[in-house]
């Protein structure tokens, strides 16, 4: 299972909610989940959406607003939004509001939910961080919340991303001491994050990138 971090990178434990279960939450707009925010890991789709919103290339956005590193356990190239250096808050929090709300990363759209994705099947589970912040929305279900937050529309891409990353992570972990590990990681970063134009949809490009990546990695690790 791949576990997306919650508010401060904590791993969520708990019983998954069913889609028709009550989820009586509505965001009160306090901005607390954007403060002291140093843990916001981006997927390739998150970066693409941000780049499209800002009308910049994914590489430019990453250079300007992200830190890149190699995941210690996953051995995967990873991007994390860097905070505002003066406040420590998310750099897109201005006047208590998110300046890129329609393009906000998945972790932000989900909050106060966390997400577990089965790396083999892509099956998704949602878990609530309790106590819930925000205000009460009696009668609301988890399905309605996910739809309203824009999570449902992107769930297929996010699941595919998790499945590919799980597979890729296994390969990279198995070759962490291989002499070609560094070029393989650079090639993977390109396929996962950078080789995209925002003039075209993300998913077909992602599929094409991964189809090209696997034979390259096979050759590097042969």
**CB neighbourhood size of 67 (10 A):** 12
State the binding string over 93-132 for ligand SF4 (x if CB under 6 A, else -). x----x-x---xx--x--xx--------------------
C-alpha–C-alpha distance, residues 106 and 162, integer Å: 13
Residue 137 Cβ vs ligand SF4, minimum distance, rounded to whole Å: 12
Torsion sign across C-alpha atoms 67, 202, 196, 166: positive
Q: Is residue 134 close enough to count as binding ligand SF4 by CB under 6 A?
A: yes
For ligand SF4, the closer of residues 154 and 187 by Cβ is 154
Q: Which residue has the tokens 């909610």?
A: 17
Q: Which residue has the tokens 């994390």?
A: 80
Q: Is residue 8 close enough to count as binding ligand SF4 by CB under 6 A?
A: no
- In the list 17, 23, 37, 145, the residue contacting ligand SF4 (rule: CB under 6 A) is 37
Stretch that binds ligand SF4, among 85-93, 154-162, 180-188, 196-204 (CB under 6 A): 85-93
Q: Is residue 32 close enough to count as binding ligand SF4 by CB under 6 A?
A: yes
SS3 114: strand
Q: Are 86 and 80 in contact (CB under 8 A)?
A: no
For ligand SF4, the closer of residues 94 and 218 by Cβ is 94
Helices 202-220 & 181-189, crossing angle to 10 degrees? 170
C-alpha–C-alpha distance, residues 202 and 193, integer Å: 10
Q: Is residue 210 close enough to count as binding ligand SF4 by CB under 6 A?
A: no
The DSSP letter of residue 9 is S
- In the list 12, 17, 34, 188, the residue contacting ligand SF4 (rule: CB under 6 A) is 34
Q: Are strands 2-3 and 113-117 parallel, antiparallel or unpaired?
A: antiparallel
- In the list 56, 133, 137, 216, the residue contacting ligand SF4 (rule: CB under 6 A) is 133
Q: Name the residues that contact ligand SF4, by CB under 6 A.
A: 27-34, 37, 40, 90, 92-93, 98, 100, 104-105, 108, 111-112, 133-134
């Amino acid at each position: 299972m791949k576990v997306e971090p919650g508010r401060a990178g904590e791993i969520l434990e708990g019983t998954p909610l069913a889609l028709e279960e009550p989820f009586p939450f509505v965001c009160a707009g306090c901005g607390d989940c954007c403060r002291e925010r140093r843990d916001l890991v981006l997927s390739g789709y998150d970066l693409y959406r941000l780049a499209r919103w800002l009308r910049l290339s994914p590489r430019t956005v990453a250079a300007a607003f992200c830190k890149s590193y190699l995941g210690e356990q996953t051995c995967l190239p990873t991007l994390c939004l860097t905070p505002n250096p003066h406040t420590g808050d998310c750099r897109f929090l201005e006047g208590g509001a998110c300046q890129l709300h329609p393009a906000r990363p998945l972790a932000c759209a989900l909050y106060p939910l966390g997400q577990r994705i089965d790396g083999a099947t892509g099956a998704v589970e949602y878990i609530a961080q309790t106590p819930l912040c925000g205000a009460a929305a009696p009668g609301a279900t988890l399905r309605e919340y996910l739809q309203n937050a824009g999570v449902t529309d992107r769930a297929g891409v996010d699941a595919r991303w998790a499945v590919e990353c799980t597979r890729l992570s296994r390969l990279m972990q198995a070759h962490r001491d291989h002499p070609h590990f560094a070029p393989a990681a650079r090639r993977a970063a390109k396929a996962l994050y950078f080789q995209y134009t925002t003039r075209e949809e993300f998913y077909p490009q992602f599929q094409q990138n991964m189809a090209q990546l696997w034979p390259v990695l096979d050759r590097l690790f042969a």
